[in-house]
Chains A and B, each alone.
Chain A
Amino acid sequence: MIRIPLTIIGLYMSIVSAFSQTATESDSSVYKSRKLKFEEANFVTGYYHQEGNNSAVTGGIGTEKLTDVSNTFDIKLTKYDSKDRLQNYNFELGFDIYTSASSDKVDPSTISSASSGDNRIYPSAAWTITNEKKGQSFGVNAAISSEYDYLSFGGGVSASKNSKDNSRQIGIKAQAFLDQVSIIYPIELRPAPYSSKSRNSFSTSVTLSQIINRRLQVAMIVDWAYQNGFLSLPFNRIYFSDASSDVEKLPSSRLKIPMGLRANYFLGDRYILRTFYRYYQDDWGMQAHTANVEATIKLTPFISISPFYRFHKQTAIDFFAPYGQHVKTEEFYSSDFDLSQLESNSGGMGFRAVSPDGILGITRLNTIEIRFDHYNRSTGLVSNIISLHAKFK
């Protein structure tokens, strides 16, 4: 008996709720679209120190001691436009200060030359527009990096598309850097006043991310990067087997193809495994494997620690030989141990605290993250880095 009245009431309620819902959504979205909203700001700072004895500036021997303090500050603003698309504005400013014992050997006639230290400043801006209904986005970015002997202009475009069920995303990115290298030869090999040469880098990147199940997601990244122009470093010395010397000489183009695979797995309720593997090869003869594993342990819902380990192995480029082993008849030569056959092991620990109500009495401070990494290279180079990230919301 009561089935018919209940059906009528049910129908009425669903019609009313359907219409009222539509009106409310429409109103709120129009209101949202006109406001530029502060989303978040991030401050990241890092202190890096290294010691080693294979400096390329002194031909593959000599100190590689270097200290660097890096800082970046970025701010993210968002708003919805009249078509309900999310617009993202990202501005970043980076500033590094470093002192380098090997750079000081560019002109060792002075006790501590101008090249013993430098500053680098690198502002950038990015804009992205996202259509959340269609699951697609498009973005552009621009960046500048400036230091005493190097100037870089960068720009790029990116686009992404989600699958209908939001379980898969494909992203494409194209980037170009147009750089100018000041040609500062070692003092004894300096033929003329400084000039500059160009170095151009073009890259495209395709990323495919996929949700595998409720706890596992993976991403595959394939890059293609091409560089041309002056790819050597003008102040890197070479000492030949006959005791004569010259500056490093490398080919004027390089094609790099790295492929990466990321997989993150949530184990139980407290553990997260973050893994990364990369295979790399280029046309200078280098092949490399890099693997990284990090285990995040959630001590509480807001505090976590993350021990991690990274392994890297690479073959040397075809043009590498250590101090005194190159012969003058070779077309290209380098004694830069960064391009030599090597293995590296690094590991450390991260600490992260997140609180929507603020940290250390600062209401807007949403996240604090501290990370320490100790790096050991088979060539004898050892480095330590400590980084701090603070997120404000």
Chain B
Amino acid sequence: MNLNKLRIPILFFSIVSLLQVSCAPVKEYQKMYLNDAEMELAMRKCEKFEMNFQLYREGASGANGGKTGGGCGCN
């Protein structure tokens, strides 16, 4: 893997590091918005079949909580 290929991972980790240092402490009683069901940091249950077909119709997969292997996807 050359440096050019590492460009995006490095950029990615830099963004995350920047976000980490810009955090403000949030108390439990201040989590009204964060605790909303729509704010969950995961795909919706309703999306599971959609994601399944994207996994078969595109070569890329993973990093979204779904599976990265197993099952056929033949058709």
| Docked-complex contact A280 and B25, CB < 8 angstroms | no
A259→B70 contact, CB < 8 A? no
Q: A100-B75, A210-B20 are in contact. Are A383 and B63 (CB under 8 A)?
A: no
Q: Which of A42, A258, A317 contacts B61 (CB 8 A)?
A: A258
Residue B3, interface by CB 8 Å: no
B58 contact from A210, A261, A288, Cβ within 8 A: A288
Q: Which stretch of A4-12, A127-135, A325-333, A369-377 is in the interface?
A: A369-377
Task: Please tell me the number of chain B residues within 8 Å of chain A, measured between CB atoms.
Answer: 54
Enumerate B1-26 residues with CB–CB distance to A below 8 Å. Answer: 5, 8-9, 12, 15-16, 19-20, 22-26
Tell me the A residues contacting B by CB distance below 8 Å: 42, 44, 46, 48, 50, 66, 68, 70, 72, 98, 100, 102-103, 122, 143, 145, 147, 149-150, 152, 154, 165-167, 175, 177, 179, 181, 201-203, 205, 208-215, 217-223, 225, 227, 233, 235, 256, 258-262, 264, 266, 272, 274, 276, 278-282, 286, 288, 290, 296, 298, 304, 306, 312, 314, 317, 338-339, 342, 344, 350, 352, 354, 369-371, 373, 375, 377, 381, 383, 385, 387-389, 391
Secondary structure at the A interface, as helix, strand, loop or mixed, is strand
Residue of A nearest to B22 (CB): A212
* Nearest CB in chain A: distance from B2 CB, A: 12
Contact of A103 among B20, B28, B57, B75 (CB under 8 A): B75
CA distance A371 to B51 in the complex (A): 13
Question: Can you give 7 contacting A-B residue pairs, CB < 8 Å?
Answer: A48-B49, A149-B74, A177-B70, A210-B19, A214-B24, A218-B19, A385-B49
Chain B residues contacting A218 (CB-CB under 8 Å) are 16, 19, 41
Which residues of A lie under 8 Å from residue B30 when comparing CB positions?
A: 214
| B31-63 interface code vs A (CB 8 A; 1 in, 0 out) | 111101111111011111110111011111111
The verdict on A217 contacting B69 (CB below 8 Å), with A266-B33, A387-B47 known, is no
Assess the B63–A223 pair: CB atoms within 8 A.
yes
Q: Which B residues are CB-close (under 8 A) to A208? A: 16
Q: A103-B75, A272-B38 are contacts. A387–B15 as well, Cβ < 8 Å?
A: no
Q: A259-B63, A383-B57 are in contact. Are A212 and B24 (CB under 8 A)?
A: yes
A256 to B23, CA, bound (A): 31
Residues of the A chain whose Cβ atoms lie less than 8 Å from the Cβ of B38? 264, 272, 274, 296, 298, 304, 306, 352
